[in-house]
Amino acid sequence: MNKRKTVGQISAELLAKDLKCTHTAIDQTDENLTDYEKNIHITLDNNKKKFPNSDFYIVVLIKRERLMSNVIRNYFFARLSCPTPNYDQIVYKYHHDDDNLEFLWVVPDRETCKEMIINKANVPIEQWELLSYILKYADGSLYALAKDLNGERMDSPILKE
């Protein structure tokens, strides 16, 4: 019987190898996005039925496994209110009236954000859009957008659930 290895076994084997790291953040992103678009469409289709005649938000949370630091997973879900911006998050808004999915923002992990802000003058042109979201997160613009999309005033203490 040909038994497949678990993610944990593969992760442990890769961590145990003493290889020179040639795997870039861009390579990792490409790997993580393999089924990304398919999962966005599945989440969209499932929640069009769950929230008929409504706008809603699709949130993608990016989680690094605690015990397997080289394993990253995306978690897809939908909600009626716009989430509070946070690290490791991608947010879309589905507009029911025109059946359109709008990309709102992406905020990578804390370390990437810090590194890009510190080195913003040297960020390659292909990463400028990502840098713009990081800067909007840092200056509170994404938070203000979320509050506005939820119909809340900036001085209200919390976003509605």
155 falls within a domain: no
Whether the pLDDT of residue 77 is over 80: the answer is yes
41 falls within a domain: yes
Nearest CA-CA partner of 143 in 61, 79, 82, 63: 82
Q: What percent of the chain has pLDDT over 70?
A: 73
3-class DSSP string for the chain: CCCCCCHHHHHHHHHHCCCCCCCCHHHHHHHHCCCHHHHHHHHHHHHHHHCCCCCEEEEEEEEECCCCCCCEEEEEEEECCCCCCCCCEEEEEEECCCCEEEEEEEECCHHHHHHHHHCHHHCCHHHHHHHHHHHHHHCCHHHHHHHHHCCCCCCCCCCCC
14 falls within a domain: no
Range with lowest mean pLDDT among 16-30, 44-58, 79-93, 97-111: 16-30
Q: Quick one: pLDDT band at residue 58, thresholds 50, 70, 90?
A: very high
54 falls within a domain: yes
The pLDDT assigned to 11 comes to: 46
Quick one: average pLDDT of 18-28?
Answer: 55
113 falls within a domain: yes
In which domain, by residue range, is 53 found? 22-149
Q: What is the number of structural domains in the chain? A: 1
8 falls within a domain: no
Q: Cβ distance 107 to 137 under 8 Å?
A: yes
38 falls within a domain: yes
Give the whole-angstrom CA distance, residue 64 versus residue 83: 20
The pLDDT assigned to 59 comes to: 98
Q: Quick one: pLDDT band at residue 109, thresholds 50, 70, 90?
A: very high
Whether the pLDDT of residue 91 is over 70: the answer is yes
The pLDDT assigned to 35 comes to: 85
56 falls within a domain: yes
The pLDDT assigned to 142 comes to: 97
Kind of pairing between the strands at 100-107 and 56-64: unpaired
Q: Cβ distance 10 to 17 under 8 Å?
A: no
